[in-house]
Amino acid sequence: MSLYLEIPQLNLQFPYRAFLNDGMTIVYPHWHKEIEIIYASRGQVKIGVDDMVVELQEGEIFFFASGEPHYFLASPDSERYVYQFDLKFFDESFLRETEESLLNLFAAGERHSRNWDPAFQVKMTELLVELYQFETQQPTGKNYFVLANLARLVAECYACLPKRTEQKKKKTPNTIHRKDTLERLNQVFEYIENRYQETITIEDVAKYVGFSPYYFTRFFKKNTGQTFVQFLTEYRINLAKFILANEKLPMIDVAEKAGFSSVKTFHHVFKETTGISPLQYQKKMNQ
């Protein structure tokens, strides 16, 4: 299984799970089509998302829409509840009337509870804490309790979740719905994961997954919203960010570990992508 594309092991008939992670559980950059909600139950939780690291304070909530890359840095003396569920959990063919789609609801919504109305945050916290209690207490009829809370959570989001500001919005893949497509994409990402320190061409990866270069190029862009070259670059940049935030290495070693052909190329691409140099990013993370 690729560390970048994650396919959570959810029950096919009941695609939901909740679990507890301590702050020393480091999670590498990845994304998945499932919605993921984080509740900081204790301490400060450091989350990598977009081009920044968010410090989630105790009691705060953060969610990731379908397809949003994210990762977790070491956050000593902290714990976080993690909730993941597939949007197919809800049959929108009859549940949704005039509302926008669930995919758009979360993609356009403000992810950080710090920017929510306090009353809305209290409601969401109560629902999430109770959801985790179902996991620990395993009451009779547990799945009905879970379903009820998730339905209430979605309804509260429709009613109260504020929209992200334009500059915060980021396009997310919205065509990744079928498991076979995800599995084929996972083959691509496993190939990248195993060879990202080498020179990778579209011809090579297309051959690996059994596509012609032309078809692979269209397939990849359609299902990720990026070209293969853009994705590969972003993958290497995300790895570099993780290395810079967690290891004290010379830039030449960071560049090599992240798969860049030279430190000069690494410096140029990193600064062009993030707006700051790798060294500046490292100092910012250390602070």
What does each C-alpha distance from 186 to 151, 168, 228 come to in angstroms? 30, 27, 13
In a domain, 183, yes or no: yes
Return the closest-CA partner of residue 238 out of 46, 45, 29, 66: 29
In a domain, 11, yes or no: no
Q: Residue 44: which domain range?
A: 16-168
Reported confidence tier of residue 105, pLDDT bands at 50, 70, 90: very high
Calculate the dihedral angle through the C-alpha atoms of 12, 126, 73, 106, rounding to the nearest 10 degrees: 60
The string of pLDDT tens digits covering residues 26-44 is 887 788 889 999 999 999 9
* Contact present, 58 and 87 (Cβ < 8 Å): no
* Same-domain check for residues 190 and 63: no
CA dihedral over 32, 253, 282, 57, signed as positive or negative: positive
- Across residues 207-229, what is the average pLDDT? 89
CATH number of the domain bearing residue 247: 1.10.10.60
Residue that terminates a domain, selected from 107, 134, 168: 168
More confident position, 161 or 193: 161
pLDDT at 100 (0 to 100): 93
pLDDT at 172 (0 to 100): 47
Domain count, the chain: 2
Instruction: Give me the percent of the chain exceeding a pLDDT of 70.
Output: 92
Provide the total of helices (H) and of strands (E) in the chain, helices listed first. Answer: 11, 8
| Helix H or strand E segment including 18 | strand 16-22
Q: At 45, phi and psi to the nearest 5?
A: -110, 125
* Same-domain check for residues 103 and 130: yes
* Same-domain check for residues 143 and 227: no
Q: Strand order of the sheet with strand 52-56? A: 27-30, 70-72, 45-49, 52-56
**Which of 15-24, 136-145, 218-227 is least confident?**
218-227
CATH number of the domain bearing residue 129: 2.60.120.10
In a domain, 121, yes or no: yes
* Same-domain check for residues 205 and 163: no
In a domain, 5, yes or no: no
* Same-domain check for residues 143 and 55: yes
Residue that terminates a domain, selected from 117, 139, 168: 168
- Is pTM beyond 0.85? Reply is no
* Same-domain check for residues 78 and 126: yes
More confident position, 239 or 82: 82
Instruction: Give me the percent of the chain exceeding a pLDDT of 90.
Output: 61
- In angstroms, the CA 30 to CA 52 distance is 15
- In angstroms, the CA 16 to CA 89 distance is 8
Residue that terminates a domain, selected from 140, 168, 196: 168
Residues 6 or more apart whose Cβ sits within 8 Å of residue 71: 27, 28, 29, 30, 47, 48, 238, 242
Mean pLDDT of the chain: 88
Query: Alpha-carbon Rg of the chain, whole angstroms?
Result: 20
State the residue for tokens 């629902």. 127
* Same-domain check for residues 239 and 129: no
pLDDT at 165 (0 to 100): 81
In a domain, 10, yes or no: no
* Same-domain check for residues 133 and 50: yes
- In angstroms, the CA 1 to CA 189 distance is 9
